[in-house]
């Protein structure tokens, strides 16, 4: 494929519940509603349920009233088709952009680096299904986590082989590139990009194939398709490699999406060691200069429970956005 211009974790459960929000629409839509954030920060289902109620649609409306202009839902593909369509319609009516949902994820099987016919068909079927989900919500990016390395991680912290001879790293990488090209062939005609998410080995996902941003960059360059980009998760990359802004700068041409979460703890900005104001400022200023429009998924928990904790999350993003 030739490069050309591109025109454009736990999964959360089930269907929206019909409970009334704590803040009725008449109170939410006050005349002094906050101004939109500079960047498209994207809350996820459940993040504001104490304030907006259990209904996902009401949570989206509440987020819009707080100035958020995007929404993320890792578990979207598992939701009823009718709810997917309703979410898409709601986002469109509010002028909000849909962030990522999970198209394919594997943490502990070498499905990309040592594929077999069964796992290959599983991957391609899920990518095809993701196209239809994306159309219902007008999503332009979907998450792909391309499996584990060709070995297993033992509970004792020891590495052990998973049966047979282990493939060398170069062959594993070549297999992953071939599989990613097959996925890109499905997505590219629909102007949808899969974003590959490097995950840290130290705190969350030991043994995954894709760990570092430079590795993801090399894969995207090798696949050579606008349908294959990087999901730069700031939380994971702070743990894996640090040096955040220089690494974002080096990967910039292949980044399609960002996610946020502070470290340690994986909660909202300001609860850990990352200087999110500076990171967001870099993303904003460079995006504005180049005409890019990134979504930044708020893929983290709330440090405080209940409505007070939800207010704290909103305020944390106001502070990080104040550059």
Mean pLDDT by 10 residues, the chain (323 residues): 37 36 39 86 98 98 98 98 98 98 97 97 98 98 97 47 73 98 98 98 96 98 98 98 98 98 98 98 98 98 98 98 97
Look up the pTM and report it.
0.87
Contact status, residue 143 vs residue 199, Cβ threshold 8 Å: no
> For residue 17, which of 51, 50, 77, 58 has the smallest C-alpha distance?
58
Strand locations in the chain (E) = 40-42, 70-71, 97-98, 102-106, 141-146, 152-153, 159-160, 193-196, 228-233, 255-260, 295-298
The H or E element spanning position 200 is none
pLDDT at 204: 96
Among 41, 100, 59, smallest CA distance to 307 is for: 59
Q: What is the pLDDT of residue 164?
A: 57
CA–CA separation, 92 and 170 (whole Å) = 44
CATH number listed for the domain at residues 40-320:
3.20.20.150
Instruction: Report how far residue 11's alpha carbon sits from residue 72's, in angstroms, rounded to the nearest whole number.
Output: 12
């Amino acid at each position: 494929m030739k490069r050309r211009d591109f025109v454009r974790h736990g999964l959360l459960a089930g269907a929206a519940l019909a409970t009334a929000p704590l803040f009725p629409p008449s109170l939410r839509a006050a005349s002094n509603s906050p101004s939109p954030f500079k960047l498209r920060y994207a809350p996820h289902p459940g993040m504001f349920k104490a304030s907006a109620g259990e209904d996902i649609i009401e949570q989206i409306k509440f987020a819009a009233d707080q100035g958020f202009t995007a929404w993320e839902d890792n578990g979207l593909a598992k939701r009823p088709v009718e709810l997917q369509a309703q979410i898409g319609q709601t986002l469109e009516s509010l002028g909000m952009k849909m962030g990522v949902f999970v198209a394919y994820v594997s943490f502990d099987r070498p499905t990309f680096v040592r594929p077999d016919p069964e796992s290959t068909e599983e991957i391609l079927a899920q990518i095809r299904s993701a196209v239809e989900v994306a159309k219902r919500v007008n999503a332009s990016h979907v998450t792909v986590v391309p499996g584990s390395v060709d070995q297993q991680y033992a509970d004792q912290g020891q590495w052990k082989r998973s049966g047979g001879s282990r493939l060398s790293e170069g062959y594993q990488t070549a297999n992953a590139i071939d599989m990613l090209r097959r996925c890109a062939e499905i997505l590219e005609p629909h102007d949808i990009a899969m974003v590959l998410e490097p995950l840290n080995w130290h705190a969350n996902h030991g043994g995954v194939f894709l760990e570092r941003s430079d590795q993801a960059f090399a894969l995207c360059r090798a696949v050579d398709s606008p349908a294959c980009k990087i999901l730069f998760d700031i939380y994971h990359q702070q743990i894996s490699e640090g040096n955040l802004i220089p690494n974002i700068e080096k990967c910039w041409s292949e980044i399609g999406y960002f996610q946020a979460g502070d470290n340690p703890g994986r909660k909202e900005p300001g609860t850990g060691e990352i200087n999110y104001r500076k990171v967001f400022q870099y993303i904003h200023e460079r995006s504005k200069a180049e005409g890019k429009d990134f979504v930044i998924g708020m893929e983290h928990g709330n440090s405080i429970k209940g409505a007070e904790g939800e207010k704290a999350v909103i305020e944390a993003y106001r502070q990080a956005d104040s550059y």
